[in-house]
Structure 1
Amino acid sequence: MQFTRTLPRELVHRAAVAEVFLTDAERHGEDEMLLAAQLPRRHAFYHDTLEGPARHDPMLLLEACRQGIFVVAHRYLDVPLGHKFLLRAVEFEVPDPAALRCGDHPTEAVISTHIEQRFHSRAGATGLRLRFGMTIGARDALLARIDYSWIPPRAWTRLRAGQRAALGLPEIPVALPGRRVEPVRVGRRDPGNAVISAPRTAPDGTRTARLVPDTGHPTLYDHWVDHVPGMLELEALRQLALSAAVDAGVLPAPTALPVGLAARFRCFAEMDLPLECRTGPVLPGADIECTLHQPGALAVEARLRLADPDTAGPAAGALAVPAAHGTA
């Protein structure tokens, strides 16, 4: 597989070439594909950590897999460019944390991709469940699974117009402004990469913060969408979980990385409605339960496992995706 140039940006639904991480794709059977990715040594978002770019953020690896969902659909299932895509569920684990270490050159990764399930309606295929295995050199860097679906543009327009009208929202959303937390509290150096408000703790140990969308963010809003992107939702929950773990004394500093995640997207998160992130009480050695709410609806439910990759051993097993049927 080649690593000399990226795949076309429109194939992976990115506007900026710098945000395209896939470089090649090959089909090896009806349900088997190989993808190639080059991970940058220093990325303004994914490597913005208090310890510097010593290791890759697993969210960067997940983003490379997420770009693969579009390649499989467009290149191998003939889903037309222009169709809209929905994340339904995401889960991953890092089997070998040592694989995340950055080297002196951009990292070359190979991603085995398998179609586990095809979703259909009377009109034909509407989505897939894909299983990914990313290797970096001889190390297993990430195991992931993504459920997703696609919708023709006209159907998407009708769907979103109806949903927003039912919520009393205008046709074109404008993101709610908000004051962001100090970046060091959520493991960031750049204030622009903090995506939640200052967390608050309730008497029962529940911690809450508002998701603060920035439609000008060059990575999280690489191109305009009329809702909060799934990767931004996951980032907001990660930042709150980090802060909660430090406040609870489970972590000494917000430098841990997510080595396991399971999330279910239940509905669209509207950027012009208040979005509240929540975690339950944080206990040593336990996964952190996280949710994202907007008025009248649960948008995302997730579990996160945080660990220091320098001391973490092999993954203890995949986190089960919460049982639900997501719609965004």
Structure 2
Amino acid sequence: MQFTRTLPKELVHRAAVAEVFLTDMAHHGEDELLLAAQFPRRHAFYHDTLGPRDRHDPLLLLEACRQGIFVVAHRCFDVPLGYKFLLRTVEFEVPHPSALALGHGPTEAVITTRVEHRFRVRTGVTGLRLGFALTIGPQVALLARIGYSWMCPEDWTRLRAGQRGALGLPDGPVALPGPRVAAALVGRRDPANTVISPPRTTGDGGRTARLTADTEHPTLYDHWVDHVPGMLELEAFRQLALTAAVAAGAVRTPTALPLGLAARFRCFAEMDLPLECRAAPVRSGADIECTLRQPGAVAAEARVRLADPDLDPAGLAGAAAADRGAV
């Protein structure tokens, strides 16, 4: 596997070369392939933290896996470039948090990727569920599973027009403006990397906030899309879960690591509708349950598992292993 240049940016659906993390691909059996990835020592979004900048954000590793879904579709299933993709489900866990540690140079990783399921209709395969094992050095740093589907641009246009029309929305979405949470409350240095409004406590002890979609964000909106991207929804869940966990005393600081997440995307989240992100009351030792709602529908739901980054790495790994079945 080579790490000297990235894969073509069109292949991983990125506009900026700097946002491409995959560098190679090789077949490794009928339903298995290897992907190579290189991660920078500093990234303006994924390494923006008030905590020690000595480890990778697990969502950075997940982004490399997400880029892999396009490589598999285009290179292995001959899906034409220009087709549109929908996330169905995303799951990940960090079995060895010590593997997230930054070195003295860019981090090189190998991602073993397996086709676990093919979604079929009468005309053929229209989606996949892929399993990923991302290895840094001798350790598995991330285990992930992503379910997704694809469609031709004409079908996408009809689908989007139908949903937006049913909601009484115009053809061209414009993101709703709104206030943002103070960066320090979600463990960030740069206010531009906050994606929720100041959270409020609900009557049952949970937390609620509005998702804020900034279409100028160079990572979350690397290129224009007419809805809220899935990775932005996951970041909103992470940020709200952090505020809920800190308020409940479940973690000490808002720089806690997401060691596990399981999310399901139920429909498009429209950036020109109010998007309410809710976190259920935090229960000791349990994942934090979150939902994203827009008028008339639940757009997405997730469970998030957090742990303080300064805990003993072996303890973090043990906690992840104990709860592995929930992800």
Length-normalised TM-score, structure 1: 0.96
Tell me how far 1:51 sits from its aligned partner.
1.4
* 3-state SS, counterpart of residue 232 of structure 2: helix
* 3-state SS, counterpart of residue 49 of structure 1: coil
- The farther-off stretch of 211-220 and 118-127 is 118-127
Indicate whether 1:64 and 2:61 are aligned: no
Indicate whether 1:262 and 2:268 are aligned: no
Tell me how far 1:122 sits from its aligned partner.
1.1
Query: What stretches of structure 2 of length at least 5 have no aligned partner?
Result: none
Q: Distance in 2 between matches of 1:317 and 1:77?
A: 34
Mapped contact 2:255–2:309 kept (Cα < 8 A): no
* 3-state SS, counterpart of residue 216 of structure 2: coil
Mapped contact 1:98–1:309 kept (Cα < 8 A): no
- The farther-off stretch of 50-59 and 154-163 is 50-59
The CA deviation string for residues 159-207 of structure 1, in whole angstroms up to 9 with x for no partner, is 1011101100000000000010000001111000000000000221021
Q: Which amino acid aligns with 2:303?
A: R
Q: Tell me the number of residue pairs that the alignment of Structure 1 and Structure 2 aligns.
A: 321
Mapped contact 2:251–2:308 kept (Cα < 8 A): no
Tell me how far 1:29 sits from its aligned partner.
1.5
Q: Distance in 2 between matches of 1:147 and 1:320?
A: 17
Q: Which residue is 1:287 aligned to?
A: 287
Q: Which residue is 2:99 aligned to?
A: 99
Q: Distance in 1 between matches of 2:305 and 2:35?
A: 26
Q: Which residue is 1:325 aligned to?
A: none
Mapped contact 1:92–1:318 kept (Cα < 8 A): no
Q: Which residue is 1:8 aligned to?
A: 8
Mapped contact 1:97–1:310 kept (Cα < 8 A): no
Q: Which residue is 2:29 aligned to?
A: 29
Q: Which residue is 1:153 aligned to?
A: 153
Q: Which residue is 1:180 aligned to?
A: 180
Mapped contact 1:41–1:53 kept (Cα < 8 A): no
* 3-state SS, counterpart of residue 131 of structure 2: strand
Q: Which residue is 2:203 aligned to?
A: 203
Q: Which residue is 1:318 aligned to?
A: 324
The CA deviation string for residues 238-279 of structure 1, in whole angstroms up to 9 with x for no partner, is 000001111112222101110010000000000000000001
Q: Which residue is 1:124 aligned to?
A: 124
* 3-state SS, counterpart of residue 313 of structure 1: helix
Tell me how far 1:284 sits from its aligned partner.
2.4
Q: Which amino acid aligns with 1:138?
A: P
Q: Distance in 2 between matches of 1:257 and 1:313?
A: 12
Tell me how far 1:28 sits from its aligned partner.
1.3
* 3-state SS, counterpart of residue 213 of structure 1: coil
Q: Which amino acid aligns with 1:6?
A: T
- Identity over the aligned pairs, expressed in percent? 75
Structure with the largest fraction of helix = 2
- The farther-off stretch of 89-98 and 284-293 is 284-293
Q: Distance in 2 between matches of 1:82 and 1:204?
A: 45
The CA deviation string for residues 84-119 of structure 1, in whole angstroms up to 9 with x for no partner, is 000000001000000011111000000000000001
Aligned pairs for 1:210-225 within 5 A: 210-225=210-225
Q: Distance in 2 between matches of 1:200 and 1:179?
A: 13
Tell me how far 1:52 sits from its aligned partner.
4.2
Tell me how far 1:319 sits from its aligned partner.
5.1
Q: Distance in 2 between matches of 1:310 and 1:90?
A: 26
Mapped contact 2:252–2:308 kept (Cα < 8 A): no
Mapped contact 2:130–2:145 kept (Cα < 8 A): yes
CA gap of 1:74–1:279, structure 2 versus 1, over 3 A, is same
Q: Distance in 2 between matches of 1:138 and 1:252?
A: 30
Length-normalised TM-score, structure 2: 0.96
Q: Distance in 2 between matches of 1:113 and 1:142?
A: 12
Q: Distance in 2 between matches of 1:275 and 1:256?
A: 24
Query: What stretches of structure 1 of length at least 5 have no aligned partner?
Result: 322-328
